[in-house]
Chains A and B, each alone.
Chain A
Amino acid sequence: MEWETVIGLEIHTQLATRSKIFSAASTTYGAEPNTQACAVDLGLPGVLPVLNAEVVRMAAKFGLATHSTVARRSVFDRKNYFYPDLPKGYQISQLALPIVHDGFLDIDLEDGGSKRIGITRAHLEEDAGKSLHESFQGMTGIDLNRAGTPLLEIVSEPELRSAREAVAYMRKIHSLVRYLDISDGNMQEGSFRCDANVSVRPLGQQEFGTRAEIKNINSFRFVEQAINLEVERQIMLIESGGTVVQETRLFDPDKHETRPMRSKEEANDYRYFPDPDLLPVDLDDEFIEAVRSTLPELPDARKARFVSEHGLSDYDAAVLTASRELADYFEAVVEASGGLGKPSANWVMGELSGALNKSDADINASPVTAAALGVMLQRIEDGTISGKIAKQVFEAMWKGEGSADEIIEQQGLKQISDSSAIEGIIREVLDNNPKQIGQYRGGQEKLFGFFVGQVMKATQGKANPKQVNELLRKLLDS
């Protein structure tokens, strides 16, 4: 039987506010346990939450960027359950009236097409703390630094049909929240993680199959692996006569499997009800328009502009707009180079990306700044150096040996464009290789390359290749 996969993602994005969603404590990652948890985060008797206005602005930004409705009224609810890292015994979230709903996002497919994925809703909630099981013999440590960190939970429609599509969607959301400057998207630190709802059904069937929810996946690679493993498991289960049960599962990358997290008996009734400590969030048109005016150029629009303005291919434009930082860098190179779109794209996607990958560095920490790279591209354009020498210059810049101009000067890499000088060198080469001249003139035209090579060798690659070609041909053919 042919099976169709149905996936919906719930992405938890940590919003990049300085303070927590309902308290003034700092959200900085990595502090000593429990040093960034104030009375409100600890859920001390008598404390009350006060909504951080910044999270509302950030959520509205996301809503506008995904063609969603930004709710004129949203309400915070309490989700009640007991867990040691949940200080109040309830999590403040939004159930019935989320701040953002009914939007969409277009993802790029591998066949070059695109697909529209519905965004059901995005709601605000507070994160819980962390339970630390290591280094406490027979006990559990609780770190409440993360408790109260603002999260935006983005729920997609079950419209993704493969692990690849799911990853493309997740990447797009990841890129978007960073474009919008509402999240650092740091997956190692858990600022961007997702739950995947996965089911399968016979191809052509309308009704959905029973789904399993894989919790807390924190990398693109793991999302793809986890979904593929789960799809495989479900198909095998059904084909061998079993049935899929609705449950929460955990992905274990080491054992390469998904397995049930908690049994049904322990299933919680969260007893949601509106939090009486918080007022409904009412937003007016003025607020929403003010947020709209702060939206940056979004990835899709930027990609289209790169094609039309800088003459890039769709593919190059897509690669360069995948992250805001990369796109910003590229545009800065173009500007510094005086408008060299295509060469800028080639260098950013080629030498620069290669060097960054090799040293596992972030583009923001690139030793070669966009301005410096732009100047170097100008030097290629104005004939000061050849493209080949440029690679040498780039390498020296990467090592911090100075600007392009300094390196060219210090290392004498300036291209030789003086016709008489080049002609002198060519004559010398010809004088030293009478045998090859004979062969060339006898019809072995391939040997032209040999002479070019000899000239370049004699000039340490600095001779202007165009002039070398012209003069060489003139002298050989005369």
Chain B
Amino acid sequence: MHQKTLVELSADLHKGRCSSVELTRACLDRISKYDGELNSFVTVVEQQALAAAQAADARIKAGTAGPLTGIPFAHKDIFCTLGVKTSCGSKMLDNFIAPYDATVTRKLLEAGAVMVGKTNMDEFAMGSSNETSFYGAVKNPWDAATVPGGSSGGSAAAVAARLVPASTGTDTGGSIRQPAALCGITGIKPTYGRVSRYGMIAFASSLDQGGAFTRTAEDAAVMLGAMAGFDPHDSTSVDRPVDDYTGGLNTPLQGLKIGLPKEYFGEGLDAGVAAAIEASLDEYRKLGATLVDISLPNTHLSVPAYYVVAPAECSSNLSRFDGVRFGYRASEPKDLEDLYTRSRGEGFGDEVKRRILVGTYALSAGYYDAYYLQAQKVRRLIRDDFLSAFGQVDVIMGPTAPSVAFRLGEKADDPVSMYLSDTYTIAVNLAGLPAMSIPAGFSGGLPVGLHVVGNYFEEARLLNVGHQLQQATDWHTHSPQGF
């Protein structure tokens, strides 16, 4: 049962071949069997999940079910879930029971999807390896000695290990696409503003965007269809109708123009990854697509710009964690100053502190123009690069990450090298574009992800492009040994 895709399971539920309770039970069993080793979950809500599954079965019987009704899934522990701990991977929120549902939580609840638990993540979504979590590192199911990627490492590992057919994630600089690539699954980050950020604990507000992990593009289309949409509680969400993501999956790719930025295939790209990407591009050529060499000349500015904008916004967003109203509070504070410094000093981990300090510096009087304002100008240049490229091509492709999963601890003491592993994904967040990572073969036994970037609100095209590759290849069906 666990090898089936979301769409296959949905069909089984609707045809009465299995019940949501059975399905949910199976997921819970697999979690208890495998997750001790993987550590992909922070919280499992067995009773709540079984109750929701029962309700879903009733809905299916009553004929009021949708494609997600009864499907077990996991939420990244960054989405607020009413009555359930929402830790954001931090000691700071280890005691935080969310008193409200995020909009995404509510939408999936209304769709009848069954949340089985909350997944592990880099602390406050700051990291690319899932090693900064207060709850410990998550293991990559393909090789327990390697990282699953981050920050949504738990969500990616849980889907890769077939613990759940789908999960939610968030992507600020690649936090969905990079772990999807490293875990050999499909991950989509839609256009900024397509999925509501309300109730999604903020890291960098102008970059954060919710999305989904699944094994196939077809499944991703179903998940995203339920999550997307305008939300009056989020001023940055965009008021335009949600496209039919499943309807166009089978559109042939004859005549599709694929842009290949020379900057994504240069120095720093692992040879094995490059070979796998070339092979995937060959598949697209066979499907009738044309490959066009393009340039995104400001690509080299994206990592520096990102590491000004994201820390600057985070330094302000994380000010609310002060030990006063919720979250961790230092014991026996001497005075207000002591309450603040010790609550934050003891409640936040090193990577979070590092970014708060960088961001505080970047926004300080006298430095604002040189850093934050300059970075915002660079963002415009990067966006203009993409827009001019989309004048020539329909989608842009390249590797999602420069290498396959690296070893646990390998980059933990070298933040800059860690930051550079997000080189290909970061520019997309700075521009606010939709993008996905799909399985594209293996290098040294570890998965490689193909990065597909679309123009604004062209999620349907991305999913179509992903689905067509998955009709022609079987990389997405490979499952890690032992799962």
Asked if B316 contacts A78 (CB within 8 A), the reply is yes
Quick one: CB contact mask for B301-330 with A, threshold 8 Å, 1 for yes?
A: 000000000001101101111101111000
Query: Is the C-beta of B188 less than 8 angstroms from some C-beta in chain A?
Result: no
Residue of A nearest to B105 (CB): A46
Residue of B nearest to A83 (CB): B336
Residue of B nearest to A268 (CB): B365
Query: Is the C-beta of A269 less than 8 angstroms from some C-beta in chain B?
Result: yes
Residue of A nearest to B372 (CB): A273
Asked if B198 contacts A48 (CB within 8 A), the reply is yes
Could you say which residues of chain A place their CB within 8 Å of the CB of B327?
Answer: 45
Query: Is the C-beta of B286 less than 8 angstroms from some C-beta in chain A?
Result: no
Residues A80 and B363 in contact in the complex (CB < 8 Å), given A46-B198, A90-B316, A276-B205: yes
Quick one: CB contact mask for B51-89 with A, threshold 8 Å, 1 for yes?
A: 000000000000000000000000000011000001010
Query: Is the C-beta of A82 less than 8 angstroms from some C-beta in chain B?
Result: yes
Quick one: CB contact mask for B351-368 with A, threshold 8 Å, 1 for yes?
A: 000000000100111001
Residue among A39, A45, A84 with the highest chain B CB neighbour number at 10 A:
A45
Residue of B nearest to A79 (CB): B316
Query: Is the C-beta of A190 less than 8 angstroms from some C-beta in chain B?
Result: no
What is the CA–CA distance of A260 and B98 in the complex, to the nearest angstrom?
A: 42
Residue among B100, B202, B232, B235 with the highest chain A CB neighbour number at 10 A:
B235
Could you say which residues of chain B place their CB within 8 Å of the CB of A42?
Answer: 325
Residue of B nearest to A40 (CB): B233
Query: Is the C-beta of B453 less than 8 angstroms from some C-beta in chain A?
Result: no
Asked if A84 contacts B336 (CB within 8 A), the reply is yes
Residues A50 and B201 in contact in the complex (CB < 8 Å), given A90-B316, A271-B316: no
Query: Is the C-beta of B479 less than 8 angstroms from some C-beta in chain A?
Result: no
Residues A50 and B235 in contact in the complex (CB < 8 Å), given A44-B99, A84-B324, A277-B205: yes
Residue of B nearest to A78 (CB): B316
Query: Is the C-beta of A396 less than 8 angstroms from some C-beta in chain B?
Result: no
Could you say which residues of chain B place their CB within 8 Å of the CB of A46?
Answer: 79-80, 86, 98, 102, 198-202
Could you say which residues of chain B place their CB within 8 Å of the CB of A87?
Answer: 320, 324-325
What is the CA–CA distance of A44 and B96 in the complex, to the nearest angstrom?
A: 10
Query: Is the C-beta of A88 less than 8 angstroms from some C-beta in chain B?
Result: yes
Residues A82 and B319 in contact in the complex (CB < 8 Å), given A39-B100, A271-B364, A276-B205: yes
Asked if B365 contacts A269 (CB within 8 A), the reply is yes
Asked if A44 contacts B198 (CB within 8 A), the reply is no
Separation in Å of the B204 CB from the closest CB of chain A?
A: 8
Could you say which residues of chain A place their CB within 8 Å of the CB of B199?
Answer: 46-47
Could you say which residues of chain A place their CB within 8 Å of the CB of B206?
Answer: 276
What is the CA–CA distance of A271 and B322 in the complex, to the nearest angstrom?
A: 18
Query: Is the C-beta of A202 less than 8 angstroms from some C-beta in chain B?
Result: no
Could you say which residues of chain B place their CB within 8 Å of the CB of A80?
Answer: 315-316, 319, 363
Quick one: CB contact mask for B170-209 with A, threshold 8 Å, 1 for yes?
A: 0000000000000000000000000001111110111000
Asked if B232 contacts A50 (CB within 8 A), the reply is yes
Could you say which residues of chain A place their CB within 8 Å of the CB of B230?
Answer: none
A90's partner among B80, B233, B319 (CB-CB below 8 A) is B319
What is the CA–CA distance of A90 and B205 in the complex, to the nearest angstrom?
A: 14
Separation in Å of the B330 CB from the closest CB of chain A?
A: 14
Query: Is the C-beta of B463 less than 8 angstroms from some C-beta in chain A?
Result: no
Asked if A48 contacts B197 (CB within 8 A), the reply is yes
Query: Is the C-beta of A89 less than 8 angstroms from some C-beta in chain B?
Result: yes
Query: Is the C-beta of B166 less than 8 angstroms from some C-beta in chain A?
Result: no
Residue among A47, A90, A272 with the highest chain B CB neighbour number at 10 A:
A47
Could you say which residues of chain A place their CB within 8 Å of the CB of B96?
Answer: 45
Residue of A nearest to B92 (CB): A45
Query: Is the C-beta of A142 less than 8 angstroms from some C-beta in chain B?
Result: yes
B235's partner among A84, A271, A273, A277 (CB-CB below 8 A) is A277
Residue of B nearest to A85 (CB): B324
What is the CA–CA distance of A273 and B197 in the complex, to the nearest angstrom?
A: 20
What is the CA–CA distance of A446 and B202 in the complex, to the nearest angstrom?
A: 91
Separation in Å of the B104 CB from the closest CB of chain A?
A: 10
What is the CA–CA distance of A102 and B202 in the complex, to the nearest angstrom?
A: 36
Separation in Å of the A114 CB from the closest CB of chain B?
A: 40
Interface size classification for chain A: 20 to 34
B326's partner among A44, A84, A142, A277 (CB-CB below 8 A) is A44
Query: Is the C-beta of A51 less than 8 angstroms from some C-beta in chain B?
Result: yes
Residue among B199, B206, B324, B372 with the highest chain A CB neighbour number at 10 A:
B324
Could you say which residues of chain B place their CB within 8 Å of the CB of A277?
Answer: 202, 205, 235-236
Separation in Å of the B430 CB from the closest CB of chain A?
A: 13
Query: Is the C-beta of A339 less than 8 angstroms from some C-beta in chain B?
Result: no
Which residues of chain A from 31 to 63 have a CB within 8 Å of any chain B CB?
Answer: 39, 42-51
Asked if B235 contacts A49 (CB within 8 A), the reply is yes
Query: Is the C-beta of B234 less than 8 angstroms from some C-beta in chain A?
Result: yes
Separation in Å of the A133 CB from the closest CB of chain B?
A: 12
Could you say which residues of chain B place their CB within 8 Å of the CB of A278?
Answer: 235-236
What is the CA–CA distance of A42 and B320 in the complex, to the nearest angstrom?
A: 9
Could you say which residues of chain B place their CB within 8 Å of the CB of A276?
Answer: 204-206, 236, 313
What is the CA–CA distance of A277 and B313 in the complex, to the nearest angstrom?
A: 10
Asked if A142 contacts B364 (CB within 8 A), the reply is no
Query: Is the C-beta of B401 less than 8 angstroms from some C-beta in chain A?
Result: no
Residue of B nearest to A34 (CB): B325
Asked if B319 contacts A50 (CB within 8 A), the reply is no
Separation in Å of the B236 CB from the closest CB of chain A?
A: 7
Residue of B nearest to A76 (CB): B235
Could you say which residues of chain A place their CB within 8 Å of the CB of B79?
Answer: 46
Asked if A271 contacts B99 (CB within 8 A), the reply is no
Residue of A nearest to B205 (CB): A276
Query: Is the C-beta of B340 less than 8 angstroms from some C-beta in chain A?
Result: yes
Could you say which residues of chain A place their CB within 8 Å of the CB of B313?
Answer: 276
Asked if A273 contacts B316 (CB within 8 A), the reply is yes
Asked if B320 contacts A39 (CB within 8 A), the reply is no
Which residues of chain A from 1 to 50 have a CB within 8 Å of any chain B CB?
Answer: 39, 42-50
Could you say which residues of chain B place their CB within 8 Å of the CB of A49?
Answer: 235
Which residues of chain A from 246 to 279 have a CB within 8 Å of any chain B CB?
Answer: 269, 271-273, 276-279
Residue of A nearest to B101 (CB): A46
What is the CA–CA distance of A90 and B363 in the complex, to the nearest angstrom?
A: 13
Query: Is the C-beta of B137 less than 8 angstroms from some C-beta in chain A?
Result: no
What is the CA–CA distance of A278 and B232 in the complex, to the nearest angstrom?
A: 12
Residue of A nearest to B204 (CB): A276
Asked if B99 contacts A39 (CB within 8 A), the reply is yes
Residues A44 and B360 in contact in the complex (CB < 8 Å), given A82-B319, A89-B319, A269-B365: no
Could you say which residues of chain A place their CB within 8 Å of the CB of B102?
Answer: 46
Query: Is the C-beta of B276 less than 8 angstroms from some C-beta in chain A?
Result: no
Query: Is the C-beta of B93 less than 8 angstroms from some C-beta in chain A?
Result: yes
B234's partner among A39, A45, A48, A89 (CB-CB below 8 A) is A48
Residue of B nearest to A80 (CB): B316
What is the CA–CA distance of A46 and B198 in the complex, to the nearest angstrom?
A: 6
Which residues of chain B from 29 to 44 have a CB within 8 Å of any chain A CB?
Answer: none
Separation in Å of the A80 CB from the closest CB of chain B?
A: 5
Which residues of chain A from 78 to 111 have a CB within 8 Å of any chain B CB?
Answer: 78, 80, 82, 84, 87-90
Residues of B whose CB lies within 8 Å of any CB of A are 79-80, 86, 88, 93, 96, 98-100, 102, 197-202, 204-206, 232-236, 312-313, 315-316, 318-322, 324-327, 336, 340, 360, 363-365, 368, 372
Q: Can you list 17 A-B pairs, Cβ within 8 angstroms, ordered by A?
A: A44-B100, A45-B80, A45-B93, A45-B327, A46-B102, A46-B201, A48-B197, A48-B198, A50-B233, A82-B319, A84-B322, A88-B320, A271-B364, A273-B363, A276-B204, A277-B235, A278-B235
Closest 7 CB pairs of A and B: A89-B319, A271-B363, A276-B205, A276-B206, A46-B199, A45-B201, A43-B320
